[in-house]
Amino acid sequence: MSEGVLPARGRGGRALSAVLPGAPQLLGGRVGAGAAALLAWTGLLWIGLTRAERVRAALSGPWDARLAAFTLLAGLVVVWAWSWWDAGRRYRPKTVAVSQWELAVRTFSRNRTAVAGLIVIGALYAIALLTPLVAPYPPNLQGNLVTERFVGLSAAHPLGTDHFARDVLSRLLYGARISLLIGFVAVAISVSVGTLLGAVAGFIGGLVDAAIMRFVDVVISFPRLVLLITIIALFEPSIFLITAVLGLTQWPSTARIVRGEVLSLREREFVQAAEALGYSKPRIILRHLIPNAMAPVIVAATLGIGNTIVLEAGLSFLGLGVQPPTPSWGTMVDAGRGNLLDAWWLSTFPGLAIVLTVLSFNLVGDGLRDALDPRLRS
C-alpha cells in the first residue's frame, strides 16, 4: 500500500495514533499488528470505562486486584506508546540478511494457525491477569440455593450456575489463572533444571554425564501420573505442591534435548576457541552453549505448558489437584460430572477452555518448531 494515499505515517499517522492506536498501522498495510493493537486498545478501554468504579476500588484492594488494575493501565500505556512511536518511525523494509531470530519471527508470522494460537494465548493471559476486573461475580459467591441452582444460560449468568448457585463464567475466568499459572511455573522450573543439568552433562561428559543421565533414566522410568498421585497422596494437596511436583518430574526430557544439542555443539570450533581464550567452564556452558541450544528447548517448553495444563486438570479431576472451593478447570469438570445430563454447561465450558488452551499451545509449539529448525525451512 502506498504511503501517500492514507495518513498512515508521518504527522497524520501520529495524530491518528493518538486517538485510535493501531489504526495507522492497519491502514498502512500491516493488518496483523494494527488489528491486534486496535483490539487491545478498545478492549482495555472498554473494560476501564465500563468498570471504572471497580478499577478504582481494585487499586486499594487485595494484591490480585491491584495487579489487574496495574495490568490494565500498563496495557493501555504500552499500546498507545507503541502505536505513537511506530507511526512516527520511518519504516524501511529490511532487505539484507537478518539474524537467526528475526528470520524465525518471519517464518513464524507466516504461519497463520500458529499466529492464531499465539493471539489466543495472549488473550488468555490478559484475561487471567484482568479477571478481578472482568468477572461478573466473585468466584465463590453463592446465590440463592433454592432459586438460583442449575440456572441455564441467561443474561445474569451467561454460562449458567452450578450446584452451589455460583456463576460458572466467573469461576471459569478465575480458574484460568490457576491453570495458566501452574502450566507456566511448572515448565519454567523444568526448563531451568533440565537445561542446566543437560548442558553440564553434555559438556563435562564422563562420570558426571553418566551420573546425571542415569538419574534422568530413573526419573523417566517412573510412570509420571503414578508418581504424581503417590507424592500428592503423601502430602496435603496444594497449588504450590502440585506446581513443584509437575515441574520436578518434567525436566528429564529437557535435559535429554539439551544434552544432545550440547554434545554436537561442543565439537564446534567456537567452543574450542572459547577454551583457547581461557574462558572458564561455567562461562562456556552458560554464555556459549546454552544460548545455542535454546531453539528446541523453546519448542519443547511451549508444548510442555499445554501438556502440564492437561495433567493439572487431570489431577484436579481426580481430586488430587487444586482443592475446592478454589476454582480450577479440572475441578469444575469433575464437579459437573454428576449432572452432565440436566446441567450440561457445568462440565462443557471448562472442558472447552482446556481444549482451546492446549490446542493453542500446541499450535504455537508446532509453529515455533517450523520457525526455529533450519532443516525444515524452505
Partner 1 sequence: MNARSGGAPLLSVRDLRVWFDTDQGVARAVDGVSFDVLEGETLGIVGESGCGKTVTSLSLLGLLPRPPARVLDDSSIRFRGEELVGASARRLRRLRGNDIAMIFQEPMSSLNPVYPIGDQIGEALRLHRGLDRRAARQETIRLLDEVGIAGAAQRVDDHPHQLSGGMRQRVMIAMALSCAPELLIADEPTTALDVTVQAQILELLASLQAARSMAVLLITHDLGVVAEVCDRVAVMYAGQIVETGTVQEIFGDPRHPYTRGLLDSLPRVDDPGHRLKPIPGTVPPPTHWPDGCRFRDRCPLAAPPCAAPQALLDLGPEGRAARCWRAP
Give the interface with partner 1 as residue ranges (CB under 8 A): 96-97, 99-100, 205, 268-270, 272-280, 283, 287-288, 291-292
Measured from the CB atom, the residue of 60 and 99 that comes closer to partner 1 is: 99
Nearer to partner 1, 205 or 319 (CB): 205
Distance between CA atoms of residues 192 and 254, nearest Å: 9
Which DSSP helix (H) or strand (E) runs through 39? helix 31-50
* Residue 309 near residue 301 (C-beta atoms within 8 A): no
Q: Of 273 and 355, which CB lies nearer to partner 1 in the complex structure?
A: 273
Distance between alpha carbon 55 and the CA centroid of its chain, in Å?
Answer: 25
Minimum distance, C-beta of residue 97 to partner 1, in the bound complex (Å): 6
CB of 69 to partner 1, least distance (A): 37
298 in Cβ contact with 346 (< 8 Å): no
Sequence-distant (≥ 6) Cβ neighbours of residue 245 within 8 angstroms: 228, 231, 232
Q: Are 131 and 324 in contact (CB under 8 A)?
A: no
Q: Are 357 and 122 in contact (CB under 8 A)?
A: no
Shortest reach from residue 204's CB to partner 1, in Å = 11
Nearest CA among 122, 101, 166, 187 for reference residue 324 = 166
How far is it, in rounded angstroms, from Cα 11 to Cα 362? 42
**Minimum distance between the CB of residue 44 and partner 1, rounded to whole angstroms?**
35
Q: Shortest Cβ distance from residue 265 to partner 1 (Å)?
A: 10
Q: How far is the CB of 196 from partner 1 (least distance, A)?
A: 18
Which residue number, 155 or 276, has a Cβ lying nearer to partner 1?
276
Q: Closer to partner 1 at the Cβ: 159 or 290?
A: 290
DSSP state of 326: S
Nearer Cβ to partner 1, position 203 or 317? 203
Measured between alpha carbons, how far is 186 from 240 in angstroms, rounded to an integer?
10
Q: How many CB atoms lie within 10 A of CB 289?
A: 25
Q: How far is the CB of 98 from partner 1 (least distance, A)?
A: 9
Q: Smallest distance, Å, CB 298 to partner 1?
A: 13
- Cβ-based nearer residue to partner 1, 46 or 101: 101
Query: Among residues 207, 195, 211, 193, which one has the least CA distance to residue 257?
Result: 195
Nearer to partner 1, 31 or 98 (CB): 98
Q: Find where cell 446465590 sits.
A: 143
Cα-to-chain-centroid distance, residue 56: 28
